[in-house]
Structure formats: C-alpha cells, structure tokens
Structure 1
Amino acid sequence: MNQQLSSERVYLFSISLSYKRCEAFYRPGNNSVIVTADTGHRVQIPSSRLRTFVTKQGIQGRFRMIINNNNKIVSFEKIG
C-alpha cells in the first residue's frame, strides 16, 4: 500500500484587534502581520488575508491557516 505523506502544516491562533489597529492593514508597506500560533510558532500572514475579516469592531476570533511544504497558504479561515 502506497501512502502519500501530507506536507501541510496547520496553525491555529486567535486575533483580537480594534478597528483602529486594523487600519494599518491598508497602509502601503504593511504587507504582513505576525501572530503566535497555539503551538508557540510565530507565523507571518499577508495582511490582505486578514482584510476580509475586518468589521466595524475590528477582528476578533479564532483562525486556522494551512500551509504547504513551500510555505504557500492552502487554506485560511475563521473558525470561531
């Protein structure tokens, strides 16, 4: 039986930012945000991925990001 090993990594993390802090996502030169995953790993996320989740209150919630072996995002979603 030939089993293919998955090279994807899953990161879970929480974000709680006010709308004022989220305004930085739209400024030139602010291309990424660094968060600390539940595992303690520091993960860099393109700020464009977070813009979708900005509301009048900012961003609050739990997120899951899956990246492949080439460090490309396969999935980025709000889970709670």
Structure 2
Amino acid sequence: MKQYCFNLNISYQNYLSHYTGYASSILVVTDERLKLQLPASRFRPYLTQLGIKGRFRLITDQNNKFIRLESL
C-alpha cells in the first residue's frame, strides 16, 4: 500500500461547484510535491459549513487504486 499526505482548504462555496458536477475532481499536492487528482465525491464525508479544511491521508494499493481517504 502507498500513502500520500496533504493539506486541504476549500471553502463551502467553492466545493459546491464540485458537488453539483461543475467540476468533478479536486487536484491536491502531497507533502512529497506530487499532484494527485481525486474525485470530489471522496471528500463529501468531510464537508462542513466551513468547507473542507484539514490534513488528509490517501491510501492506495500498489497500482494506485483508491483504498481510503482519512482525516488526520
């Protein structure tokens, strides 16, 4: 398994464009400076009235297939 850590700070209004389908993915930059494009729907459990803010860890298999996203 592979792990990627990153910080994310998206306002509620900005996320709405992803949620409504205007933009279907979110581009994040990991601590190792890798750019990863993730489906916006993966972040729905972490959406609050303030948006999505915090530190996250993405876990993938050896083929970079999504396993889970965790809030740290």
Q: Same fold (TM over 0.5)?
A: yes
Gaps of 5+ in 1: 1-7
2:10 pairs, out of 1, 6, 17, with 17
Counterparts in 2 of 1:31-42, with a 5 A limit?
31-42=24-35
Between the aligned partners of 2:23 and 2:11, the Cα distance in structure 1 is: 17
CA RMSD of aligned residues (A): 1.2
Runs of 4+ in 1 over 6 A off after TM superposition: none
Q: Structure 1 length normalisation: TM-score? A: 0.81
Gaps of 5+ in 2: none
Q: Structure 2 length normalisation: TM-score? A: 0.89
Aligned identity (percent) is 35
Number of aligned positions between the proteins:
72
Between the aligned partners of 1:58 and 1:29, the Cα distance in structure 2 is: 17
Structure with the greater alpha carbon radius of gyration: 1
